[in-house]
A and B are shown apart, each in its own frame.
Chain A
Amino acid sequence: MSALISVRDLTRVFDVSKPWLNRVIERLPRALLTAVSEVSFDVPENSVYALVGESGSGKSTIGKIIVGLVPPSAGSVEIEGVDLATETDAKKVEAVRDDIQMIFQDPFASLNPRWRVRNIIEEPVAAKGGKTNGLAEKLLEQVGLSAADAGKYPHEFSGGQRQRICIARALASEPRIIVCDEPTSALDVSVQSQVLNLMSDLREDLGLTYLFISHDLTVVQHMADVIGVLYLGRLVEEAPRDRLFNEPKHPYTQMLFDAAPKMDAFGREVDPPKGEIPDAINPPPGCAFHPRCPLATERCKTEHPEMRHIGETRVACHHAE
């Protein structure tokens, strides 16, 4: 089975230097922030690929590059065999763009407050001159709202309902891929479960492929087929869900699992992880995780670990086995 999304050596560097004049006066060098560094993975059709990581790990940047909101600095993203950044055939690019949509974290910021829900949902189709008769009503019912809601404004809805509207909008152009960037982080638990269930149902009914970006391990475990763990812009481990949760290979993954609060661990005394995520402008040499890693040796401080295959797992660590 060929992959629907194929990411190869994706790298994105942001220039976060001070303004030109300050650099000259204060004699500062350019500051470059490597948000994503040589990340490669494949997402098969009709699967859920999850990217997890803490803040600054580059998970949202990867999502934005895949939908084409941010161009990559190096490497490529191919969707259905088309690289959006370099493809010159406009028709092909258009066709792929119809197939990919995005759901954002904050349903309060991602809906235009002055548009009616009908216009919001129909926009992805209307912008391309498509037919929109009854489309909004049909989609609203599909996401569990009522057709009468089409005439309302976003402020009349609660957070969970707004996220449903965002999902309806993402479905309007009949995409095959939806990139979900922390879709439930802004929602309460009881509403989160409604949205997650809806997303699972839609995936089954419509054969969707999700790229699911989240920091919440329990949500990821519930939704994903394959999980990629990011640390400081690099993919450190990738494995099918059960494999990853039963046998985390990378010390960072193990640390994340240990640190995550557990509902059935009453009064658990944890030895909390040491240190914090390093500065992405000056990442540590060698393996970026070595200052916090319990297994770190001299080799980790100098040599960057390559991605290795161990069974179904791909892991970037000198000591994983």
Chain B
Amino acid sequence: MTDTPVLSVHDLVVEIPTRHGVLRPVDNVSYDIHAGEILGVVGESGAGKSMTGNAVIGLLDRPARIVSGEILLSGQPIQGLKRDVIRKLRGKKMGMIFQDPLTSLNPLLTVGDQLTETILEHLKVGQTEARKRAIAALEEVGIPAAAQRINSYPHEFSGGMRQRVVIALALCAEPDLVIADEPTTALDVSVQAQIVALLKRLCRERGVAVMLVTHDMGVIAEAADRVAVMYAGRLAELGPVREVLTQARHPYTAGLMASTPLASQGRKRLRQIPGSMPRLGALPTGCAFHPRCEFAQDKCRQEPGPTIDRCDGRAACWFPLTAKQEVSA
């Protein structure tokens, strides 16, 4: 691992001005991703996990905008760069894998055309070399008979194969960072296992830093090295996967883990976190999680939740759980 992280996000704030006031889908989020590392970002819908990814890669839809904070790519700040500069970086330095492979491929171009276009745009190679590389990229992601399949259109591939093509597309210009936004959500279990294994292999072999955005704790447990748990736009907890999932410090993470049906716990009644995630327009005062938190105290109701620095960079909570404190079932 090198000293400079591939991606370093500091105090990132994204705001969306609306008629009813300014919403903050991403609020003071900081994390690093090193080369060859997979950072999992989990959270429920509306937690701001996709928004963080889009902000990094410069794909925020207006009126959403980055208000403050720093995004460093290999030590270089990239926020506030001109659109065409970001455009060059996107693809060359950062690749993106979206949830739905059918909408992220152009249905009117063959897979080969889309790959060679990206390669020609970002690498200094000729047409024949680009095509060669495109075939190699398809082979690398495990598409059989790549030399023939390169002339196929996206609709001729199955869902899993399409997602492989999208991964090849994200990796063909040899980026340092790949942002995978729910890459397996639209896929079946058996295909999901293939794609997760593929991502892990590519990450290890190429030393790419991967930001894996998902809501599936199982995928995170298997694939990620470290995990960031998001709640209502803020980082709730950040740490190595094993520690966060087995010894959660933030009550939200603990609740999330307890409410997932586990093979080992059998038929026991599931623990439930009461209520649901607040809407961004109606965040409670104090810590955003306090109305659903069983450990909430007056301080949580009045003061906004702390940043994760307060608890060794692990949990953004005034009263983090200790190892002994189990969430009552």
Judge whether A276 and B193 touch: CB under 8 Å: no
Partner of B242, one of A218, A266, A271: A266
A222-B267, A263-B221, A265-B222 known; A191 and B276 CB under 8 Å?
Answer: yes
Judge whether A267 and B261 touch: CB under 8 Å: no
Judge whether A259 and B192 touch: CB under 8 Å: yes
Judge whether B276 and A160 touch: CB under 8 Å: yes
Judge whether A270 and B259 touch: CB under 8 Å: no
A114 interface hit (Cβ, 8 Å): no
Judge whether B260 and A276 touch: CB under 8 Å: no
Which B residues touch A200, using CB under 8 A? 269
Partner of A158, one of B194, B200, B222, B276: B276
Judge whether A273 and B194 touch: CB under 8 Å: yes
Partner of A272, one of B197, B225, B261: B197
Partner of A263, one of B160, B189, B260: B260
B44 interface hit (Cβ, 8 Å): yes
Which B residues touch A191, using CB under 8 A? 44, 276
Judge whether B190 and A273 touch: CB under 8 Å: yes
In the complex, chain B residues 143-161 whose Cβ is within 8 Å of any chain A Cβ = 158, 160-161
In the complex, chain B residues 193-242 whose Cβ is within 8 Å of any chain A Cβ = 193-194, 196-197, 200, 215-219, 221-222, 225, 241-242
Partner of A222, one of B44, B256, B270: B270
In the complex, chain A residues 235-294 whose Cβ is within 8 Å of any chain B Cβ = 245, 255-256, 258-273, 276-277
Which A residues touch B256, using CB under 8 A? 189-190
The number of chain B residues touching the other chain, given as a range, is: 35 or more
Which B residues touch A159, using CB under 8 A? 45, 276
Which residue of chain B has the shortest Cβ distance to A54 in the bound complex?
B188
Which B residues touch A112, using CB under 8 A? none
A93 interface hit (Cβ, 8 Å): no
Q: How far is A149 from B277 in the complex, measured between Cα atoms in Å? A: 19
A188-B45, A276-B160 known; A261 and B192 CB under 8 Å?
Answer: yes
Which B residues touch A158, using CB under 8 A? 276
Q: How far is A144 from B176 in the complex, measured between Cα atoms in Å? A: 49
Q: How far is A191 from B259 in the complex, measured between Cα atoms in Å? A: 9
The number of chain A residues touching the other chain, given as a range, is: 35 or more
Judge whether B215 and A262 touch: CB under 8 Å: no
A125 interface hit (Cβ, 8 Å): no
Which B residues touch A196, using CB under 8 A? 261, 270
Which B residues touch A188, using CB under 8 A? 44-45, 215, 276-277
B10 interface hit (Cβ, 8 Å): no
The interface bits of chain B over 8-51 (1 if a CB of A lies within 8 angstroms of the residue's CB, else 0) are 00000000000000000000000000000000000011000000
Give the residue among B45, B264, B270 with the most A Cβ atoms within 10 A. Answer: B270
The interface bits of chain A over 207-222 (1 if a CB of B lies within 8 angstroms of the residue's CB, else 0) are 0000000010111011
Which A residues touch B89, using CB under 8 A? none
Judge whether A261 and B216 touch: CB under 8 Å: yes
A296 → chain B closest CB, angstroms: 16
A251 → chain B closest CB, angstroms: 12
Which residue of chain A has the shortest Cβ distance to B160 in the bound complex?
A276
B301 interface hit (Cβ, 8 Å): no
B272 interface hit (Cβ, 8 Å): yes
Which B residues touch A262, using CB under 8 A? 218, 221-222, 263
A193 interface hit (Cβ, 8 Å): yes
The interface bits of chain B over 63-79 (1 if a CB of A lies within 8 angstroms of the residue's CB, else 0) are 00000000000000000
Q: How far is A261 from B219 in the complex, measured between Cα atoms in Å? A: 6
Closest 9 CB pairs of A and B: A261-B218, A193-B259, A188-B44, A259-B193, A222-B261, A54-B188, A193-B270, A190-B273, A272-B194
For this complex, 11 residue pairs linking A to B, each with C-beta atoms less than 8 Å apart, are A161-B276, A188-B45, A191-B44, A217-B189, A218-B263, A222-B261, A222-B267, A259-B193, A263-B262, A265-B222, A270-B196
Listed in ascending order, the chain A residues whose CB lies under 8 Å from chain B are 54-55, 158-161, 188-194, 196-197, 200, 215, 217-219, 221-222, 245, 255-256, 258-273, 276-277
**Beyond A159-B45, A218-B262: 18 further Cβ-contacts under 8 Å?**
A190-B44, A190-B272, A193-B260, A193-B261, A193-B272, A218-B218, A255-B190, A259-B189, A259-B190, A259-B192, A259-B193, A261-B216, A261-B222, A265-B221, A267-B241, A269-B200, A273-B194, A276-B190
Listed in ascending order, the chain B residues whose CB lies under 8 Å from chain A are 44-45, 158, 160-161, 188-194, 196-197, 200, 215-219, 221-222, 225, 241-242, 245, 255-257, 259-264, 267, 269-274, 276-277
